Chain A
Amino acid sequence: MTEAARAEAARRPIRRSLPLLAVLGPGLLAGLSDDDPAGITTYSVLGADHGYRLLWVLLLSTVALMVFHDLGARLGVVTGQGLIGLIRHRYGVGIGAAALVALVAANLGTATAEFAGIAAGGELLGVSRYVAVPVAAVAVSWLVLAGSFHRVEHVLMALAAVFLAYLGAGILAQPDWSAAFTGLVTPRMSLRHDDTLIVAATVGTTLAPWGVSFIQSYAVDKRLTVKDLRYERLDVVLGAALTGIIGFFVVVSCAATLHESDVSIQTADDAAAALAPVAGNLAGLCLAVGLIGAALLASAILPLSTAYSVCDFTGSEAALDRSFSEARLFYLSNIAVTTVAAGIVLIPALPLVPVLVWTQMLNAVLIVPLLVLMARLSRDRTVLGGHVVSRPLAAMQILVVVAVTLCVVLLVV
C-alpha cells in the first residue's frame, strides 16, 4: 500500500462519519433537554428513596423515548411539517387548536419550572434569583433572536456538555455497580403507592409533549431529507441513550449516598445540598452545576418548541435563519414564553409548587393523545407514503402508549 493510499484509508472512517456529524442535533437536543430540573428531581428522588431497585424503569422509558423521538423525526423529515401543523392538516383545525392550546399552557408551566431550576441552582452557588433568572432569560432570548440556526445549535450542544457533571457526581459517589446493573435489568416493584407514583413520574418526565413536538419541528427547520433519515435515527438513539445514561448516573449517585444514609429529599437542589456532606463538596457542586446547565438548556428549548408549534399551526415562517421581520410570530412567541415564565418565577411569595404540579399534570394528560395521534400518523400512507413504520415498530408504539396511559392513570388517580 502506498503512502497516499494509506492516508486515504485513514481518512475514510472520518469521512464516513461526517454526514452523521452534520445530521446530529435534533435527537441529541430533544433527548438531553428531557433531563431538565423536573427530570433530575424525579431521578434524584428515585435514587434517594428507592435505591437501585427501580433502575429498570429508566431503561424502559429510554426505549420509549427512542421509539417516539425517532417517529417525530421521521414525520418531520417526510412531511416537512411540525407535529401541531401535521395534526391540523390531517385531523382538522379543531383538534389542532385543542392540541396547541394545551401544549402552549403546558410549555409555559414547564418553562416556569426550568427558570425555577435556574433560580434554585443559582442560589446553591450563592447567586440571587433576581440576578440569575433575568440574566438567563436575556441570554437565551438573545441567542435565539441573534443566532443563525447553526450558531444556536452549536451553543445548545455545548451547553449540553455540562451534563458530564452528572457523570462526575455519579463516579465520586462510589456506587455499588453490580447492584446498579442488577437493578437496571431486573424488573421488580411492589404495588405500593410510593412505587407506582415514582414509576409513573419517571416515565412521564422522560417522554414529554414538548420533546416530541420539538424534535419534529427542529428536524424540519434543519431541512433534513429522507436520505438523512438513517443518520437521524443514530442521532435519536444517541440522544435518548445519553438521556438514559445521565439519568442513570443521577440515580446511582443519590442511591449510593442519600439512600444509604436514609436521607429523604424533595427537589434536585435538596439533592445537591444533601450530597455535599455525604459524598464530598465536589459531588454536590457537580449536581448544582449540572442542574443550572440542564435548566438553561431546557429554558432555551421550551420557548423554541412553543414558537415552532404556534407557527406550525398558523403556517407562518418558523426558521431560526429567518430575520425578525420575516418571522415575527416565531420570535415574538419565543420571547413571550421566556418573559412570562421568568416573570412568574420572580413574583415574590408566589406559590410555585401548585403551578409546577399543575404543569406536570397537564403534561401527563397531554402526552397520551399526542402519542396516540403520532402512532396513527405513523401508519397513515396518505401522510408518510412509503415511509410508514413497520408492524413490529407499530406494535412497540402501541405498547409504549399503553404503558404511558397506565402511568398517567396512576399519576392522576
Chain B
Amino acid sequence: MERRLHWRRWLAGGVRLVERGRRTERSCDVAPGLHLFSNWLGAGVFDESGHRLGWFRDLVTDLVAGAQHPPVTHVVIGAPDGRRLVAPFASLSARPGTGTLTLSGTAAPATESVPGPTSLLVRRDVLDAPVVLAVPPRRTRVSDVVIEVGPDGAHVVGVDLSTSGMLRRFGGRASSASAQQAVPLSEVHLISAHGHAAQLATPHPRVLTLPAQGMAEVLTRVPVAHARDIIHAADRDLREEAVGLLHPHVRARVTGSGGPPRRTRRLGGWRLHSPATHRRDGDRE
C-alpha cells in the first residue's frame, strides 16, 4: 500500500514537471520594456471580438533590418486546429486584466517561406538551441531570449546564456528581464540549421568579422558542415589565417583539401584540439 503511494507521488511530481514545461496557457504582457520570450510562450491570443485565435507560439525576427538588435516583425500563433497563423507583431496588444493577448487585424496562415532566408523563428531557431561564443570561446545553450518592446516596435536585445536563466523557467511565475544578462544575438553563432544559414546570409555576419583566432575557435566548435560554410563565405586572407591556426586534424576535417590523402586523413581522427594547443605550420622551436 505504502509502495503504491510512493509510485503515485513520483508520478504526480513527474507530470507536474512536464506540464510546467509544456504549459499552454500563460499570463503575459507586451507593455513597453524588457521581456523574457519564454514568458510569452503559450499565452492565449484572441481577436478583437473576444474569440480565441490560438496560442502564442513563436516570433519572427529579421536579421538584416537590425544587426545588433534585430526587430521582431511577426508573431506566430498556433490555432486550435493545428495550423500556424502569422500576423504583424505590431497588431498584438495585452487584454487588460486577463493576462492574454488581443490581435487587431487578421492573421494569415504560415507558409513554407516563413521565416525568410535572413529571418529567424525565435522559438525554433534560438531558444534552447546550442550556440558558439567566440569570446570567451565556448559552446553553450540559449536559456532565454530578452526582447525589448518600445514605441517603434519590439527588438531582440539578446540571448541569456546563464544557467540561472534556464532554472528560472521552472519557476512557473513570470520573471523579469534585464539587459545586462543578454548577449547580443550577433555575438553568438547559432548551430541550429536555419539559424546558422540565416546568420551567414546577412550582409556582415559577426563570425566573418572576427579576428582569425576567434574564427578558428568557432570553426573548432561548430559541426563540420557549418565550419565548411563559414570558410567558404569568409574573406580569403582571413580564411587562410584562421585555417592556419586550426589544429592539423581539425583543419583536415573542415577544409576537405590539402594535407594527407583523404582516406588516410579520415583515419587520422576527429580530434577536437583547440587552435591554441598546437604549434602553427612554419613556427620554429
Most central of A15, A80, A317, A322 by chain B CB within 10 Å: A80
A residues near B274, Cβ cutoff 8 Å: 326
A22 with B266: CB separation less than 8 A: yes
Q: Given contacts A223-B253, A385-B193, is CB(A94)–CB(B22) below 8 Å?
A: yes
B271 with A321: CB separation less than 8 A: yes
B residues near A155, Cβ cutoff 8 Å: none
B266 with A80: CB separation less than 8 A: no
A85 within 8 A of B: yes
A179 within 8 A of B: no
A94 with B170: CB separation less than 8 A: yes
A18 with B18: CB separation less than 8 A: no
**Cβ-neighbour of B267 out of A18, A149, A316 (below 8 A):** A18
**Cβ-neighbour of B20 out of A18, A94, A224 (below 8 A):** A94
Give chain A's interface secondary structure class: helix
A93 with B166: CB separation less than 8 A: yes
A146 within 8 A of B: no
Task: Encode B241-285 as 1/0 by CB contact (under 8 A) with A.
Answer: 000000000000100000000011011011111100000000000
B residues near A21, Cβ cutoff 8 Å: 267
A94 with B269: CB separation less than 8 A: no
B263 with A19: CB separation less than 8 A: yes
B141 with A85: CB separation less than 8 A: yes
A225 within 8 A of B: yes
User: Complex formed: what's the CA distance from A316 to B140 in Å?
Assistant: 5
A81 within 8 A of B: yes
Q: Given contacts A19-B263, A89-B128, A322-B272, is CB(A95)–CB(B22) below 8 Å?
A: yes
**Cβ-neighbour of A93 out of B21, B191, B223, B263 (below 8 A):** B21
Most central of B138, B142, B163, B223 by chain A CB within 10 Å: B223
Please report which residues of chain A, range 51-96, place their CB below 8 angstroms from some CB of chain B when the two chains form the complex: 79-81, 85, 88-89, 91-96
A97 with B272: CB separation less than 8 A: no
A residues near B267, Cβ cutoff 8 Å: 18, 21-22
A317 with B22: CB separation less than 8 A: no
B269 with A149: CB separation less than 8 A: yes
Q: Given contacts A93-B166, A315-B141, A319-B272, is CB(A98)–CB(B17) below 8 Å?
A: yes
Q: Given contacts A18-B267, A225-B225, A314-B141, is CB(A96)–CB(B253) below 8 Å?
A: no
A339 within 8 A of B: no
Task: Encode B202-226 as 1/0 by CB contact (under 8 A) with A.
Answer: 0000000000000000000011111
Task: Encode B137-149 as 1/0 by CB contact (under 8 A) with A.
Answer: 0111110000000
Most central of A79, A94, A148, A314 by chain B CB within 10 Å: A94
B130 with A85: CB separation less than 8 A: yes
User: Complex formed: what's the CA distance from A18 to B267 in Å?
Assistant: 7
B14 within 8 A of A: yes
User: Complex formed: what's the CA distance from A98 to B131 in Å?
Assistant: 22
User: Complex formed: what's the CA distance from A317 to B193 in Å?
Assistant: 19
A residues near B264, Cβ cutoff 8 Å: 18
Which single residue of chain A is at the shortest CB-CB distance from B265? A22
A321 with B272: CB separation less than 8 A: yes
Chain B contributes a number of interface residues (CB within 8 A of A) equal to 42
B234 within 8 A of A: no
Kindly provide the distance from the CB of A325 to the nearest chain B CB, expressed in whole angstroms: 11
**Cβ-neighbour of A148 out of B130, B166, B191, B271 (below 8 A):** B271
User: Complex formed: what's the CA distance from A19 to B270 in Å?
Assistant: 13
Task: Encode A314-334 as 1/0 by CB contact (under 8 A) with B.
Answer: 111101011000100000000
A50 within 8 A of B: no
A223 with B224: CB separation less than 8 A: yes
**Cβ-neighbour of B139 out of A22, A91, A316 (below 8 A):** A316
Please report which residues of chain A, range 86-113, place their CB below 8 angstroms from some CB of chain B when the two chains form the complex: 88-89, 91-98, 101-102
A95 with B273: CB separation less than 8 A: no
A residues near B224, Cβ cutoff 8 Å: 223, 225
User: Complex formed: what's the CA distance from A322 to B224 in Å?
Assistant: 17
Q: Given contacts A89-B129, A98-B18, is CB(A382)–CB(B271) below 8 Å?
A: no
Kindly provide the distance from the CB of B200 to the nearest chain A CB, expressed in whole angstroms: 16
B residues near A150, Cβ cutoff 8 Å: 269, 271
Kindly provide the distance from the CB of B116 to the nearest chain A CB, expressed in whole angstroms: 15
A92 with B128: CB separation less than 8 A: yes
Kindly provide the distance from the CB of B252 to the nearest chain A CB, expressed in whole angstroms: 11
A149 with B271: CB separation less than 8 A: yes
A96 with B225: CB separation less than 8 A: no
B residues near A321, Cβ cutoff 8 Å: 271-273
Please report which residues of chain B, range 183-204, place their CB below 8 angstroms from some CB of chain A when the two chains form the complex: 191-194
A226 within 8 A of B: yes
Most central of B139, B142, B222, B226 by chain A CB within 10 Å: B139
4 more CB-based (< 8 A) A-B contacts, given A148-B271, A225-B225: A81-B191, A92-B128, A94-B19, A316-B139
Sample 7 A-B pairs with CB under 8 A, ordered by A number: A18-B264, A80-B222, A93-B170, A94-B22, A148-B271, A222-B270, A321-B273
A-side residues, CB < 8 A to B, are 15, 18-19, 21-22, 79-81, 85, 88-89, 91-98, 101-102, 148-150, 222-226, 314-317, 319, 321-322, 326, 382, 385
